[in-house]
Structure 1
Amino acid sequence: MLNVRRVPAPLLFVAGGISMYLGAAVAVWLFAELDPASVAWLRQLGAALVLLAWRRPKKHAWRGRVFWLAALFGLVTAGMNIFFYEAIARLPLGTAVALEFVGPVLVAAFGSRTRRDIAALALVIGGVLLIADVQWAGSTLGVVFALAAALLWAAYILVGKRVADVGLGVDGLAVGFAVATVALVPLAFGTGPVWSSPELLFMGVGVGVLSTVVPYVLDQVVLRRLGQASFALLLALLPVTATLIGLVVLRQVPTLPEALGIAAVVGGLTLRSRETQARTEPL
């Protein structure tokens, strides 16, 4: 049986990125039937149901400070997903991804302590912008939604690290997503067509598994090993993964700037200084 704790963090990110972008493709199909916010709620519901059935969190996870921390994490994550879906409904995916990276880049910048980290961060920023090929002429509202998602992505990293540090792990995800699903239930009114179509319902649950359960569980594994700054820099592997999926699945050959961007991101990840790894615990 594979021990995920022995898998290098970059490989875990690639696996999570592949799953996340496959889920995003399914979500785009659902946009033809549902509004983006409703798809985001359906994603949250699917993830909550799967995680609750899998983990069955113990009573202590539903009480006191631990519960409120998990609830905050769930709400931040749900908000991030809602704003991102609203953004990609108005902007090209590459543009929205580049704008959303403002969040983790800010976390990495505040967490950097050496010139080497700053140089690595500069390479990553340049690489992400080259890959995404930002088009500032897009929808103003889309840009606002993407930047809102960016701020919540930064909060996701900060709160997610605390969830991992207190030992909640995947149980914290289950509790948090359940709370967010209930709190945002008004968005369920836009999911009407799903309940009369097994195919759409299956796709909705699939988005939750592919875009939330798999990548966020892997996030919790990696967050226990790394500091917030290193985690934020590793997130730059996501647009690299998206570019490779576009090449293999959609036959989208990268342009020269995109290829240079991939090289810059890989160079930044290689250049960054090593941090003392945090202790790891079983999920």
Structure 2
Amino acid sequence: MTAVDVATSTARRQRTAPAVALILGSMLSVQVGAAASTRLFDDVGPAGTAWLRGCWAALFFIVIARPSLRWLRAQSRRDLAGAVALGAVSAVMSVSFFESIARIPLATAVALEFLGPLSLAVLRRTGRWGLLWPVLALAGVLALTRPWSGGINLAGVLFALVAAVCWAGYILLTQRVGDSFSGVKGLAIAMPASAVAAAVVGLPQALPGLSWAVLAQSAWLALLLPVLPFALELLALRRLTVAAFGTLMCLEPAFALGVGATLLHQTPQPLQVLGVAFVVTAGIGAQRTGHR
């Protein structure tokens, strides 16, 4: 190995190590934010919690991006429609996910929701190995839900699967919005649209339990999810390839397992741990054999 190769390898490691830390921090923030959100369920309900968090996130992104009316008029209708569609899909995803974790363990909900991006990666697969990942993911889902035991909450599973479909749509729309807008200006449109869409079911749930304490809690929850994760992921993507980023994000169900056990006292069974491992492995394999 030449001196140039050594220097290049060292520089790559110096860029990659901080980026990995950023991604790990992002996933931890997402799962801690989701677990902490359950404390508001008794006051404002799962959908109400999702709506309040969305309202604060919209406000934060508007302050960060500062979109003007002149700037909005300069955007094409197609680009604006894409941002609004991203907001609507985000609203359904958030409400469905919170309704899910109100009924089933966090790790199970996240693993089921992860089937959305996993399905996209499988559809984009290249090579014969791509056929293995759906089978492995299915085995993981069966180990997590254990339908033969009769103890699974069907509504919780269905909400998680709705969130999975929305997550797949969210990825596709985020790519489109990211290509159409600079910085976070697209999210300054998408997040208000998401808050408006979530208000349909979230506002009736939240109104009876609204208080200053609830508003304050939902504000810092919005910082945990999605403001802080988005900022960390944005910084990480400047140092990582999309493939490496996607592979690291496949660890999300494993983070959910640890956070659920630590903060929510949801002790998993050995078979459920194996199920999460199957889903994570399937996600990593599909990401490494796929393309954008």
Q: TM-score range by the shorter chain?
A: 0.7 to 0.9
- Specify the alignment match of 2:37 in structure 1: 27
1:42 maps to 2:48: no
Q: For residues 49-93 of structure 1, give each alpha carbon's deviation from its aligned partner in whole angstroms, at most 9, with x where no partner exists.
A: 111112213543563322211111111111100011111122222
- Change in CA separation of 1:182 and 1:248 when aligned onto 2, cut-off 3 Å: closer
Separation (CA, whole Å) in 1 of partners of 2:276 and 2:157: 24
Normalization by structure 2: what TM-score?
A: 0.75
Residues 13 and 238 in structure 1, CA contact (< 8 A), matched pair in contact too: no
- Change in CA separation of 1:157 and 1:247 when aligned onto 2, cut-off 3 Å: same
- Specify the alignment match of 1:56 in structure 2: 66
Residues 92 and 198 in structure 2, CA contact (< 8 A), matched pair in contact too: no
1:1-283 matches, within 5 Å, as 6-7=15-16, 10-58=20-68, 59-61=70-72, 63-64=75-76, 65-119=78-132, 133-136=144-147, 137=150, 138-186=152-200, 187-192=202-207, 195-197=210-212, 199-219=213-233, 225-226=241-242, 233-246=247-260, 256-257=270-271, 265=280, 269=284, 273=288
Q: CA deviation at 1:38?
A: 0.8
Residues 120 and 271 in structure 1, CA contact (< 8 A), matched pair in contact too: yes
- Change in CA separation of 1:219 and 1:193 when aligned onto 2, cut-off 3 Å: farther
- Specify the alignment match of 1:281 in structure 2: none
Letter in 2 for 1:226: V
Separation (CA, whole Å) in 2 of partners of 1:149 and 1:219: 21
Q: Matched residue of 2:43: which SS?
A: coil
Separation (CA, whole Å) in 2 of partners of 1:256 and 1:189: 40
- Change in CA separation of 1:125 and 1:232 when aligned onto 2, cut-off 3 Å: farther
- Change in CA separation of 1:116 and 1:29 when aligned onto 2, cut-off 3 Å: same
- How big is the alpha-carbon RMSD for the aligned residues of Structure 1 and Structure 2? 3.4
Q: For residues 25-68 of structure 1, give each alpha carbon's deviation from its aligned partner in whole angstroms, at most 9, with x where no partner exists.
A: 22100011111111110110111111111221354356332221
Q: CA deviation at 1:157?
A: 1.0
Residues 75 and 179 in structure 1, CA contact (< 8 A), matched pair in contact too: yes
Letter in 2 for 1:159: L
State which structure, 1 or 2, has the greater radius of gyration over its C-alpha atoms: 2
Normalization by structure 1: what TM-score?
A: 0.77
- Change in CA separation of 1:40 and 1:263 when aligned onto 2, cut-off 3 Å: closer
**Sequence identity (%):** 35
Unaligned segments of structure 2, at least 5 residues: 1-14
Q: For residues 119-147 of structure 1, give each alpha carbon's deviation from its aligned partner in whole angstroms, at most 9, with x where no partner exists.
A: 566666656776xx224332222222111
Separation (CA, whole Å) in 2 of partners of 1:147 and 1:253: 22
Separation (CA, whole Å) in 1 of partners of 2:111 and 2:33: 19
Separation (CA, whole Å) in 1 of partners of 2:166 and 2:122: 16
Unaligned segments of structure 1, at least 5 residues: 1-5, 279-283
Q: CA deviation at 1:238?
A: 0.5
- Specify the alignment match of 1:3 in structure 2: none
Separation (CA, whole Å) in 1 of partners of 2:164 and 2:138: 14
Q: CA deviation at 1:214?
A: 2.1
